[in-house]
């Protein structure tokens, strides 16, 4: 069982479904409202655990009801929460999601996720160093992402940096990460001015650009490779990227070569979009393997 440590956000997703997305200044009648656990970090932790990894989550929640639900959901999914702290006087992170016209729009209020500071993460240094791979995203403070990159590099721990949501990164942070997994929008912000092909060639076997339903593109040192996704009936795309990142990290930690790891991750992500909620469709290891073996 590979050891995966996820350093990142955990939130409650407040999801409204609607036939149409309201425009600016417009009011529409929606169809439903549901509250489900989410947050990119927690989603990735749950996905990796369902895929058979030994997962520790490092994060913060508020001392509120959402925080309790978030922690018990992680525990139910087999994630170690020894380093998920409830912060007094702060609200848990929330994500306000509109599901309409076959896609989502999300506003994240970070809340307690801003308390995932370098000093806090340092308390879990031993867990980080003992990991087969670490995953970090960008719903926590920028200095924490920088700290995680530094710690992983110094200790030779592979780090998958999922630069979502988009923000620019210092060049040294990009250099220190082992793997970078932006989508097309995020890669444009990361490497402003450069073409996608130039960037892929600059970072062979390191930069993996997710292109939605087309697949994932990387440069293997000789040529660009596009590893295709699997066509499915889409119910909810929320959490597909998180499932992809977790599955890719698990597969890499298990020693799969890049194309095979991407195929495994694409299969897991495609299954995740067939059910409602960020974590609702995240598959188990058996489900992914059964589909791959068909």
Binding site residues, ligand RIB, CB under 6 A:
11, 13, 38-40, 43, 95, 106, 108, 139, 238-239, 241-242, 278
Q: Residue 176 or residue 270: which is nearer to ligand RIB going by CB?
A: 270
Q: Residue 200 or residue 249: which is nearer to ligand RIB going by CB?
A: 249
Q: What is the DSSP string of the chain?
A: --EEEEES--EEEEEEEESS---TT-----SEEEEEEE-HHHHHHHHHHHTT-EEEEEEEEESSHHHHHHHHHHHHTT-EEEEEEEETT-PPEEEEEEEETTEEEEEEE-GGGGG--HHHHHTTHHHHHT-SEEEE-SSS-HHHHHHHHHHHHHHT--EEE---S-----HHHHHH-SEE--BHHHHHHHTTTS-HHHHHHHSTTTB-EE-GGGEEEEE-SSSEEEEE------S--TTHHHHHHHHHHHHHHTT--HHHHHHHHHHHHHHHTTSSSTTTTPPPHHHHHHHHT-
d(CA 135, CA 126): 15
What residue number has its CB nearest to ligand RIB? 38
d(CA 289, CA 293): 6
Q: Residue 96 or residue 256: which is nearer to ligand RIB going by CB?
A: 96
Q: Residue 61 or residue 278: which is nearer to ligand RIB going by CB?
A: 278
Query: What's the closest the beta carbon of residue 64 comes to ligand RIB, in angstroms?
Result: 16
> Under 8 Å CB-to-CB from 125, ≥6 apart: which residues?
151
Q: Residue 36 or residue 261: which is nearer to ligand RIB going by CB?
A: 36
Question: Is 130 an active-site residue?
Answer: no
d(CA 232, CA 265): 15
Query: What's the closest the beta carbon of residue 40 comes to ligand RIB, in angstroms?
Result: 5
Query: What's the closest the beta carbon of residue 110 comes to ligand RIB, in angstroms?
Result: 9
Query: What's the closest the beta carbon of residue 156 comes to ligand RIB, in angstroms?
Result: 29
Q: Residue 131 or residue 137: which is nearer to ligand RIB going by CB?
A: 137
Query: What's the closest the beta carbon of residue 37 comes to ligand RIB, in angstroms?
Result: 8
Query: What's the closest the beta carbon of residue 139 comes to ligand RIB, in angstroms?
Result: 6
Identify the active-site residue in 13, 132, 236, 242: 242
Active site residues: 242
């Amino acid at each position: 069982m590979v050891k995966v440590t996820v350093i990142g956000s955990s939130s409650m997703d407040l999801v409204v479904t609607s036939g149409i997305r309201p425009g600016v200044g417009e009011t529409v009648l929606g169809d439903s409202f549901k509250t489900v656990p989410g947050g990119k970090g927690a989603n990735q932790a749950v996905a990796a655990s369902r895929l058979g990894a030994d997962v520790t989550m490092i994060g913060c929640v508020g001392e509120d009801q959402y925080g309790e639900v978030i922690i018990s959901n992680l525990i139910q999914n087999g994630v170690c929460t020894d380093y998920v702290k409830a912060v007094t006087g702060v609200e848990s992170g929330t994500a306000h999601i509109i599901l309409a016209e076959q896609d989502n729009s999300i506003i994240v209020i970070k809340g307690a996720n801003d308390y995932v500071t370098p000093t806090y993460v340092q308390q879990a240094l031993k867990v980080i160093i003992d990991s087969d791979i670490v995953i970090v995203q960008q719903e926590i403070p920028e200095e924490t992402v920088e700290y995680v990159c530094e710690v992983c590099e110094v200790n030779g721990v592979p780090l998958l940096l999922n630069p979502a949501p988009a923000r620019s990164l210092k060049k040294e942070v990009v250099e220190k990460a082992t793997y970078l997994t932006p989508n097309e929008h995020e890669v444009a912000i990361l490497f402003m001015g450069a073409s996608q092909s130039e960037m892929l060639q600059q970072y062979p076997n390191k930069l993996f650009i997710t292109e939605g339903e087309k697949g994932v593109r990387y440069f293997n040192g000789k040529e660009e490779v596009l590893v295709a996704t699997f066509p499915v009936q889409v119910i909810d795309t929320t959490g597909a990227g998180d499932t992809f990142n977790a599955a890719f990290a698990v597969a890499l930690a298990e020693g799969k070569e890049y194309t095979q790891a991407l195929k495994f991750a694409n299969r897991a992500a495609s299954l995740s979009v067939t059910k409602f909620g960020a974590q609702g469709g995240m598959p188990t290891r058996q489900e992914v393997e059964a589909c791959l073996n068909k």
